[in-house]
Amino acid sequence: MSQLGTTQIHLRNPLIIAWWSAAFLGFGHLLLSKYLRGYVLVLWEIIINISANINLAMIYSFQGQFDLAKQVVEPRWMLLYIPVYIYGFWDSYRTSVDLNKVFILAYRENARFIHFQITALEINYLDKRKPWVAVMWSFFMPGAR
């Protein structure tokens, strides 16, 4: 845990984190409190997606106009987009697995952590999660947790 690192340590489902990264690159890292990587990947997603015209090509392909989709896509930008997208997806999964290992190790060894620390960049704190709170938030505000 550092100024740029983890703010919360608790067990996470790595598949959910990976699917958030698949939905929009960088969101999985933001869920893991990896803000620097997350915001860089979100910015990358926006710039490359607009430059490659990926969304417009997807709209044309959903409408069955595959020739228009091929004409709209910028191949050089698209080739730059694919490896970073795969990296973001994989890295969010791998990072969540590593953080789960740290949590389990700390729990088993009854390790001492700094529970609350204010730094120049963020507030670091350790938090125990209660699943019923997420259920209640989802009940009153669907999609929130």
Q: Give the DSSP letter string of 1-54.
A: --TTS-S------HHHHHHHHHHSTTHHHHHTT-HHHHHHHHHHHHHHHHHHTH
Closest CA to 23 of 42, 5, 39: 42
pLDDT at 115 over 60: no
Q: Please give the backbone phi and psi of residue 114, each rounded to the nearest 5 degrees, phi first.
A: -75, 115
pLDDT computed for residue 113 by the predictor: 60
**Percentage above 90 pLDDT, the chain:** 40
CB crowding 81-101: b at 16 or more within 10 Å, else e: beeebeebbebbbebbeebbe
pLDDT value of position 141: 74
Q: What is the pLDDT of residue 139?
A: 79
Q: Which residues, other chains included, contact 38 with Cβ-Cβ below 8 Å and sequence gap of 6+?
A: 26, 27, 28, 29, 30, 32
